[in-house]
C-alpha cells in the first residue's frame, strides 16, 4: 500500500540527546565584524551562520557541517541506517552525511563485526573520512555511475543518500529546476543500484515540481515521506524526501 507522509518535528533529535545543540543555543550572540565591507544580505547570512546552534554543535562534535544533524535527526526517527549496510552518498562534500553514515553502519570500524561500506562522490575535494571511499567527480558526469558501482563490494546498495546541489544563479526558478533535475538523476540511479527493501533520502526544494518527484518515488517505493528536520532552517525552502521499501527494478 502506498503511503505519503509529511513530518515536521519541532524539537531537535539526535544531538539533542547529548545536550550539544542545547548547550550551543545558550552561547552569547556573535556580532559580525567589518560589516561595512559586505552587502546587507551577506551580513545577515553571516550573522545567522555564526549564531546558528547547529553550526556550533557541529564544530564541538567534530562534524564537517551542520548538515550532519539533519541526517542524525531523520535517522533517529526512521532508523534506515544499520550496521553492515552499503551506502552511497551523492553530493557528499564536505562530508557531514558520510561521517554519520560511516558511524551508523560501522564502516569506520573495519575490524568490527559486520562493518558497512560508504562510497561518497562530489566534484569538490574534501578531506578523508575513516571508512569512506571518496570519488572526486561530478555525479552528472557520464562515467560517475559506473565508477560508483565498481567500488561497491556487492552489486546492490542498501541506501542512497543525495544532498546534491547545483551552483546558484540567483534566479529562483532556474535554481529550483536545477536542484530538482539533480534529484531526478539521483532517483534514477538509486533505482538502478538499490536492493529490494532499500532506502533513498534526497534533498528537494518547495517550488511546484517536487510533486512530480513524489509520484515517481511512489511508483518504486512502498513508503514516501516529506520531512523538514529541525536542523533545516525554518525560513529555507529546503525539504527532504525519504523513500523506503524499494520494490525492486521494474521490467
Cα Rg, the chain, nearest whole Å: 18
5 pLDDT higher than 60: no
Distance from C-alpha of 236 to C-alpha of 125, rounded to nearest angstrom: 26
pLDDT at 43 over 80: no
Domains, in order of start, for the chain: 65-246 (3.40.50.150)
Lowest mean pLDDT among 85-99, 167-181, 222-236: 167-181
The residue from 37, 70, 203, 218 that is catalytic is 203
Give the CB-side neighbour count of residue 179, counting CA atoms within 13 A: 25
- Tell me the three cell numbers of residue 47: 550573522
Who wins on pLDDT, 251 or 193? 193
Q: Which of 22-36, 133-147, 202-216, 232-246 has the highest mean pLDDT?
A: 133-147
Q: How large is the average pLDDT for residues 200-220?
A: 83
Show Cβ contacts of residue 17 under 8 Å, excluding neighbours closer than 6 positions.
Answer: none
Share of the chain above pLDDT 70, in %: 77
Question: How far apart, in whole angstroms, are the C-alpha atoms of residue 50 and residue 45?
Answer: 9
Nearest to 26 by CA among 58, 44, 53, 45: 53
Q: Is a pLDDT exceeding 90 seen at residue 162?
A: yes
Answer yes or no: 203 catalytic. yes
For residue 32, what are the CA distances in angstroms to 36, 72, 169, 210? 10, 29, 26, 36
19 Rama sector, left if φ>0, alpha if ψ -120 to 50, beta otherwise: left
Up-side HSE of residue 111: CA atoms within 13 Å toward CB?
0
Contacts of 60 (CB under 8 A, 6+ apart): 20, 23, 24
pTM of the predicted model, to two decimals? 0.79
What pLDDT digit, counting tens, does each position of 91-114 carry? 999 999 999 999 999 999 988 889
Of the pLDDT bands very low, low, confident and very high (cuts 50, 70, 90), residue 10 is very low
Name, in order, each residue with C-beta under 8 angstroms of 167's C-beta and a sequence gap of 6 or more: none
Distance of CA 198 to the CA centre of its chain: 16
- Which tens digits make up the pLDDT trace of 49-59? 455 677 777 78
Q: Are 103 and 62 in contact (CB under 8 A)?
A: no
Instruction: Provide mean pLDDT across the span 212-237.
Output: 88
- The x, y and z cell numbers of residue 103, run together, are 558511524
Amino acid at each position: 500500500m502506498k503511503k505519503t507522509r509529511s513530518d515536521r518535528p519541532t524539537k531537535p533529535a539526535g544531538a539533542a540527546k547529548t545536550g550539544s545543540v542545547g548547550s550551543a543555543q545558550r552561547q552569547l550572540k556573535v556580532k559580525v565584524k567589518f560589516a561595512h565591507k559586505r552587502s546587507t544580505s551577506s551580513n545577515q547570512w553571516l550573522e545567522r551562520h555564526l549564531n546558528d546552534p547547529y553550526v556550533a554543535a557541529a564544530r564541538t562534535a567534530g562534524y564537517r557541517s551542520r548538515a550532519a544533524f539533519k541526517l542524525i535527526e531523520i535517522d533517529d526517527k526512521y532508523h534506515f541506517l544499520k550496521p553492515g549496510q552499503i551506502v552511497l552518498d551523492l553530493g557528499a562534500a564536505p562530508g557531514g552525511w558520510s561521517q554519520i553514515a560511516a558511524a551508523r553502519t560501522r564502516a569506520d570500524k573495519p575490524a568490527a563485526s559486520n562493518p558497512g561500506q560508504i562510497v561518497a562522490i562530489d566534484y569538490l575535494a574534501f578531506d578523508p573520512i575513516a571508512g569512506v571511499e571518496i570519488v572526486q567527480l561530478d555525479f552528472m558526469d557520464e562515467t560517475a555511475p559506473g565508477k560508483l558501482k565498481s567500488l561497491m563490494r556487492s552489486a546492490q546498495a542498501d541506501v542512497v543518500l543525495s544532498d546534491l546541489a547545483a551552483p546558484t544563479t540567483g534566479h529562483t526558478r532556474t535554481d529550483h529546476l536545477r536542484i530538482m533535475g539533480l534529484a531526478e538523476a539521483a532517483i534514477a540511479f538509486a533505482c538502478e543500484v538499490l536492493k529490494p527493501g532499500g532506502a533513498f533520502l534526497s534533498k528537494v526544494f518547495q517550488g511546484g515540481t517536487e510533486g512530480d518527484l513524489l509520484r515517481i518515488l511512489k511508483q518504486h517505493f512502498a513508503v514516501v515521506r516529506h520531512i523538514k528536520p529541525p536542523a533545516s532552517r525554518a525560513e529555507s525552502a529546503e525539504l527532504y524526501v525519504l523513500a523506503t521499501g524499494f520494490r525492486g527494478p521494474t521490467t
